[in-house]
Structure 1
């Protein structure tokens, strides 16, 4: 029997973990990677090194694939449309993915389908940003480049017209948003297949530090059942209305008055879903593969009462392997996932998952393991 070939554009850790999920299924997996040293390129057998911004490179890569998917959203929209015109199966397709690529397009479309978001509009210059601020009650506001931002990059909290000058220097469109006074950040992860089947994972709490995800708690503690169901339904609605195929992460603000507002969308496996590798019956990576191949989706239910994911960020302690002895001896149940990256300060180089019945204990185990691997804890 001939198994399908899944091609993933991008060679980062998401591709690495998607490849891992496909091994038990016998799926043939290949990647288009920027360099041979990228995270996934170290472990995937079939690697093409090339520039995803070059259409002919994409065409040559896609020629050997049954379906094309992504570990990032940076492939030019026009290139995706050209591939689709060539007959390439692209999932998610260009008409869906543009909503994760362009924040202005996303905000317009979400408003059309009645999904609540922070008040926003495209602004032309610092004076226009100041006018927007006045319309939403004054500074501070948030300015975002409409394309290319991630992990806090391309995002500015602006407290005066003078602070607003930096975002416009790149010469790209800028989206202004009200600064939401939120209680915490949540994420709703769903997966949708071409034949319309969809599954929703438990809504999680995402703890950010300096604009980067630090910890994810599944499920979100003390989240009312009604609000949890509302967030899941919202994500399923967005997936359906935008025509998403594969995994969709909807990042949310929970407000003090009991609402959820959409912050960002990601149409690929997502950091807020890494807990599913050890904490759910079917991981986000396995379900993303099932979806893009139009296979029946797997059970998203959690395996334990609580699962906590803590990112391992690079610091001044490069020899993380030496820390395994302590982490594994101290907590035989901890799950360590490393990405094969060079250690650089602040860089995501791995994550740990812990699980159990006592949230405080599970969270402390994750905090300790991630901190010891990073070198910020030595006992």
Structure 2
């Protein structure tokens, strides 16, 4: 029997963790990486070295693949349309993926289908930003480049027209949004297959520090069943209306007055879903593979009452391997996931996950392990 080959564009940690899910399924993963030292290229046997911005590299990579998918959203939309015209199965397709690539297109579509979002519009210059600030009740406002931003990059909180000059220096369209007075950030992750089957994971709380995800708590504490169902409904609606195939992460604001607003979309496995490797019956990575291959989707339910994932960021202590001795001896229940990256300050180099019945205990254990691996604590 011949098992399918899934081509994943991008050689980062998401592709690396997708390989872990592909192995027991018997699915062969092929990765397009920019360099052999990239995270996924270290562990995947079938690596194509190339540039996702080069159409001919994409075409050469796609030959022999049964379906193409992504560990990032940076492939030009026109290239994806060309691949589809060649007969390549691209999942999610360019008509869906553009909503994760272009924040202006995303906001326009979400408004059209009635999904609640912060007030927003494309702005032309700093004077237009000042006019937008007047429209939404004053400064500060949030400015985003419509393409290319991630982990806080391409996003500015500006408090006057002078500060608003910087985002326009990149020479790309700028989206202005009201600064939402939110109580916390949530994420609703769903997976949808080509024939329309969809599953929803428990809604999680995502704790951000300096624009980077620090901690994910599954399920979100003290979130009412009604509010959780609303968040899942919003994510499933977006997946269906946009024709998403694969994993969709919908980042959300829970406002202080009780509303749920959509912040960002990601059409791939996502940091807010890493907890599912150890904490769910079927991980986001396995379900993404199942979806792009149009296989029946797996059970998204949690295995434990609480699961906490904490990202491990690079610090001043590069030799994380020897820190394992303390982390594993102190707490054999900690699951450590490292990405094979050089340690640089502030860089995501791994994550830890802890499951259990007591939330305070689980958070303390996960936080301690991540901090010790980084070197910010020594005992």
What is the deviation of 1:181? 0.2
Correspondence 1:251 to 2:251 = yes
Cα deviations across residues 116-144 of structure 1 (Å, max 9, x unaligned)?
00000000000001100110001100000
Aligned-partner Cα distance in 2 for 1:138–1:170: 25
What is the deviation of 1:257? 1.5
Q: Specify the alignment match of 2:108 in structure 1.
A: 108
Counterparts in 2 of 1:63-102, with a 5 A limit?
Answer: 63-102=63-102
Cα deviations across residues 309-345 of structure 1 (Å, max 9, x unaligned)?
0000000000000000100010001000000000000
Aligned-partner Cα distance in 2 for 1:243–1:106: 13
Correspondence 1:119 to 2:119 = yes
Aligned-partner Cα distance in 2 for 1:246–1:362: 30
Where 1:303 maps in the other structure, the secondary structure is coil
Q: Specify the alignment match of 2:341 in structure 1.
A: 341
Correspondence 1:213 to 2:208 = no
Counterparts in 2 of 1:164-179, with a 5 A limit?
Answer: 164-179=164-179
Q: Specify the alignment match of 2:237 in structure 1.
A: 237
What is the deviation of 1:64? 1.6
What is the deviation of 1:201? 0.2
Aligned-partner Cα distance in 2 for 1:257–1:227: 13
Correspondence 1:152 to 2:152 = yes
- TM score, norm. by length of structure 1: 1.00
Aligned-partner Cα distance in 1 for 2:255–2:227: 11
What is the deviation of 1:258? 1.2
Q: Specify the alignment match of 2:323 in structure 1.
A: 323
Aligned-partner Cα distance in 2 for 1:367–1:267: 28
Count residues in correspondence: 379
What is the deviation of 1:306? 0.1
Correspondence 1:369 to 2:365 = no
What is the deviation of 1:157? 0.1
Q: Specify the alignment match of 1:37 in structure 2.
A: 37
Q: Specify the alignment match of 1:294 in structure 2.
A: 294
Unaligned residue ranges in structure 1 (runs of 5+): none
Q: Specify the alignment match of 1:190 in structure 2.
A: 190
* Cα-Cα RMSD: 0.4
Where 1:29 maps in the other structure, the secondary structure is strand
Aligned-partner Cα distance in 2 for 1:272–1:310: 10
